């Protein structure tokens, strides 16, 4: 991972999507999260961005960078919610779990 000065450092990246070269500008923290999500799914970042792009085209039009940011946010919201639900189940008294 490339160390950044701050998580808010903005950095553009170029991808080939649908056979065309395009760039996305995101904060370093979002790039790091996007790489982590891609690794979790066993795909390259460019493949994940292409998947997000396909979903974006079917929905309300928004900028590509915004679509990626929203995807990252929703991904971690789902993970946090799932973890919170697991903790709620395991933190109940034993008698309530029967």
Going from N- to C-terminal start, the domains of the chain cover 10-97
56 compared with 64, residue with greater pLDDT: 64
pLDDT at 3 over 60: no
* CATH number at 10-97: 1.10.3990.20
Residue 28 pLDDT > 50: yes
Contacts of 55 (CB under 8 A, 6+ apart): 67, 71
The C-alpha atoms of residue 68 and residue 40 are separated, in whole angstroms, by: 16
Q: pLDDT value at position 18?
A: 80
At residue 6, does pLDDT exceed 80?
Answer: no
Residues in CB range of 14: below 8 A, 6 or more apart: 21, 22, 23
Q: Is the predicted pLDDT of residue 38 greater than 90, yes or no?
A: yes
Distance, CA of 96 to CA of 19 (rounded, Å): 56
Q: Is the pLDDT of residue 68 over 80?
A: yes
């Amino acid at each position: 991972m490339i160390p950044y000065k701050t998580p808010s450092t903005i950095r553009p990246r170029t991808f080939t999507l649908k056979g065309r070269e395009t760039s996305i500008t995101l904060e370093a923290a979002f790039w790091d999260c996007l790489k982590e999500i891609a690794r979790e799914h066993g795909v390259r970042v460019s493949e994940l961005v292409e998947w997000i792009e396909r979903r974006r085209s079917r929905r309300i039009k928004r900028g590509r960078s915004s679509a990626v940011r929203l995807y990252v946010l929703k991904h971690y919201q789902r993970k946090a919610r799932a973890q919170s639900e697991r903790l709620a189940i395991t933190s109940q008294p034993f008698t309530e779990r029967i």
